[in-house]
Amino acid sequence: MSTPATQVQLTEAELKLLQTLVYQECGMFFDERRVHFLQDRLQRRLKACGLDTFYSYYRLLTSREGKTELAALVENLTVNETSFFRNKPQLDLFHKTILEEILHRKQQRRDFSVRMWSAGCSTGPEPYTMAMLICDALAYYYLRNPLPFGDMPSPKPLIPPPWRVEILASDISYSVLRAAQEGIYPENHLEPVEYTYRLRYFDKVGDRYAIKKGVKDLVHFDFHNLKTEFLPQRNDVIFCRNVMIYFDEAEQKRLIDKFYRCLNPEGFLLIGHAESLFGLTDKFKMIHQNNGTVYQRIEVPA
């Protein structure tokens, strides 16, 4: 393995050790196509720690004192690319068909709570897009299916009572969670956001756009590592888009099984455009309409 003069030699054995450690920690798998990225980030972290061999870095990571550095390494390995209204055909299907079905089913059962989870939320555009879409879908649903709940509070709330909406947004990176929580974006990030949504759900702050408080209040941000077993339960919908592409097949299968358990009966799973459940599970059925795809939990008769 050739290394520039300023770089510390990383042996095959050290690379294997570190690759395995990262995989065990967060599920990210670096195959031949992505191993250069891993090597580059390892060199940076080694330098930041002032160490001179990768074996000593590995020893640090596996020591009790190394927990913070392990988190920093994982953080440096994440790819946080995201955008508002990403994968429009899928979101149209979600907005017009899936949400309508969920609201109808819930109202019939007189359960007025909707719980959604953005797993791997990055800097927030995904959960905030989910929030804007449910506000819209619920307002339209309510118009056609008003409930005898007494007087509507004034000003009219984004979520008409007695409906309750809870969106959990999680990530393994604390820095993206901080940015997401702030919810302020430069103008160029707003390009995919239609003007009607900009007007309703954003405030202009200087030359940036801030998510309105009412939308922000629907989203709760938290740290969750998808590699662990203890994940948020009782979701009606899970978005986990463009996260599984960084996992190998075994880890993808484990994650899909966990998502199955984290969903309510007949709940929905939305994955990325370049991802598929094909060959990974038979516990979900695919719903495909106008180029949009979502998956629904299949219920096994008791």
Ligand X SMILES: C[S@@+](CC[C@H](N)C(=O)[O-])C[C@H]1O[C@@H](n2cnc3c(N)ncnc32)[C@H](O)[C@@H]1O
- Which chain residues interact with ligand X by CB under 6 A? 26-28, 78-82, 86, 120, 122, 126, 171-173, 176, 224-227, 241-243, 246, 272
Output 120 or 267, the one with its CB closest to ligand X. 120
- Closest approach of Cβ 45 to ligand X, in Å? 16
How far apart (Å, rounded) are the C-alpha atoms in residues 120 and 176?
10
Output 181 or 225, the one with its CB closest to ligand X. 225
- Closest approach of Cβ 62 to ligand X, in Å? 19
Contact 170, 221 (CB under 8 A): yes
- Closest approach of Cβ 258 to ligand X, in Å? 11
Output 103 or 244, the one with its CB closest to ligand X. 244
Output 159 or 218, the one with its CB closest to ligand X. 218
- Closest approach of Cβ 170 to ligand X, in Å? 6
Contact 126, 118 (CB under 8 A): yes
- Closest approach of Cβ 10 to ligand X, in Å? 22
- Closest approach of Cβ 129 to ligand X, in Å? 9
How far apart (Å, rounded) are the C-alpha atoms in residues 73 and 38?
10
Output 83 or 107, the one with its CB closest to ligand X. 83
Output 120 or 160, the one with its CB closest to ligand X. 120
Q: 67-77 and 35-49 are packed helices; what angle lies between their axes, rounded to 10 degrees? A: 140
